[in-house]
Amino acid sequence: MNRKNMILVTIVLALAALGAMGQYLSSATHAQKPSAPAGDITPARSDDLTPTLYLPLVLMNHSPGLVQPSDLAYLGAFRLPGGDDAPPTFAYGGQAMTYRPDGDSGGGDEYPGSLFITGHDTVNYVAEISIPAPVSSTNLNALNTATMLQGFSDVRGGLFDAMNEMPRVGMEYLPAQFGQTSAKLHLAWGAHHQDEGSSTQAPSHAWCDLTLSAPNTQGAWWMGETSVERLYRVNDYIFEIPSAWADTHLRGAKLATGRYRDGGWSGMGPNIFAYGPWLDGSPPASDTILATHKLLAYSSSYAGGGDHTLDYYHDSDDWAGGAWLTAGAKSTVVFVGTKGGGDYWWYGYSSPAGDGVPCVHIPQPGEDEPRCYRSSDGSSCVDDFPTCTGYAIDSKGWWSSRFDAQIIFYNPADLAAVKNGTKESYEPQPYATLDIDERLFLSWPSDTDIDCGTGDQRKCRTGAVAYDRANGFLYVLERFSDEAKPVVHVWQVE
């Protein structure tokens, strides 16, 4: 054990004796992040296969003003309605979700409002559902099922039809803002590859009305600039920024948008860019470059430089959605996703034996060099695994030895410091992490095994996120958990 770890253990034991860390004693601890090696790779975690709190950060940020993992009480889950026939189905869906406070006027239960959710991920039609009471059970058949309030409709308005290869989608409800006469769904659309001509190097954001069959979609608009590098950073998730914070720091820009794309093309960690399209017009003219405020952005491998990453970064990470949580005087910014872990990460194929051993892609002439990294120190492991046989060629992508569903917590004060210029956009790091694998069903249809993996090496665990600020309900989609449909999990923020 190195000296840093000995010091950390001593601190933890002392705090445990005082009862100050009682809620964390069942969690394993992480070592301090080692220094970055050459090659723009920041070391990932070096512990065993169980992801837990980033303990050194928790010790520094256990503030009464921050929402902690222990403040999230799990309530259960519910199912989505309908069958599996595409495209008007939730099967293979769940890329975007948002909460509407007045959406279910006839509910009369403890879970008011409704959810807008995107369906099958090739076209991402949008539907609106009621919110039934969640049930905490490991049996899917014990869960309540939502009812459809508005059926699936295409809200793209012809703006994003060309983005049909593995599109990324964001969506957030806001009531009417300055110059608007009605509430809107704010939209983002992105392509898997943004650099394939004018069809993908295109403006990414829009808004539409809440009547899905007549959406009156307006846009599309650019986020701050028109570069491909910026597109990769902004065109997935959207979530609301609390009005008071937005008014104080962002001149009223109440929407946070961002994207995480594997391989670091969007930056080696999640992004947050704040914007408010109503501040640029009602609506802004199509092709307008909207004003944005950068609050979080790590180094990008697409932009070709920098070694500033999310702590314990793997290229295979997937941060699918976020929310700005508030509970009384406490707040936090969370991202929910599937975190790469274990001993290695690499570009190639899922482990043929299912044991987390790297199966590295051996490039052809003219391709990038083979890529395989040790989680302990970020060094190359290519020479340790020169060959691999028996793999599924269609599984090519970024992989880790294992994956876990996690919620990571950021301090809003760090984002304010970025905006004020006292921190760089890559300096904020999570102060805590919550592993939510134990809450998931982790059942999936076999036709997703090649793309998403199996067992501990299963990707595709979580989808979009929505938040009911008035009642403190956090909604998280688990993908492919009800055959091909998502299931909605619910936490109470206390």
Average pLDDT, the chain: 89
Give 356's Cβ-side CA count (13 Å radius): 19
Paired strand residues for 99: 115
How far is Cα 425 from Cα 146, in angstroms, rounded to an integer? 40
Q: What's the pLDDT tens digit per position in 325-370?
A: 999 999 999 999 999 999 999 999 999 999 999 999 999 888 889 9
Q: What's the pLDDT tens digit per position in 186-233?
A: 999 999 999 988 889 999 999 999 999 999 999 999 999 999 999 999
How high is the pLDDT of residue 156?
Answer: 97
Average pLDDT over residues 426-440: 98
Name the DSSP class of 159.
S
Of the candidate ranges 85-89, 265-269, 426-430, the one whose mean pLDDT is the lowest = 85-89
- The residue count for the chain: 494
Cα end-to-end span (Å), the chain:
37
Q: Name all domains of the chain by residue range, CATH numbers in brackets.
A: 71-337+417-493 (2.115.10)
How high is the pLDDT of residue 164?
Answer: 85
Q: Tell me: pLDDT of 34 over 60.
A: no
What are the strands of the beta sheet with 97-100, ordered from one edge? 97-100, 114-118, 126-130, 148-153
Answer for the pair 462, 319: CB distance below 8 angstroms, yes or no.
Answer: no
Tokens of 91: 């099967």
Q: Which residue shows structure tokens 């239960």?
A: 109
How high is the pLDDT of residue 317?
Answer: 98
| Cis-peptide, bond into residue 215, ω within 30° of zero | no
Answer for the pair 109, 72: CB distance below 8 angstroms, yes or no.
Answer: no
Which of 265, 313, 340 is closest to 430 using CA atoms?
313
Q: Tell me: pLDDT of 41 over 80.
A: no
With a pLDDT cut of 90, the percent of the chain lying above it is 80
Could you tell me the pTM of the whole model? 0.88
How high is the pLDDT of residue 217?
Answer: 99
Answer for the pair 491, 74: CB distance below 8 angstroms, yes or no.
Answer: yes
How far is Cα 265 from Cα 315, in angstroms, rounded to an integer? 9
Predicted confidence band of residue 109 (pLDDT cuts 50, 70, 90): confident
How high is the pLDDT of residue 366?
Answer: 85
How high is the pLDDT of residue 62?
Answer: 66
CA distances from 480 to 95, 105, 152, 237, 443 (A): 12, 30, 19, 19, 7
Predicted confidence band of residue 35 (pLDDT cuts 50, 70, 90): very low
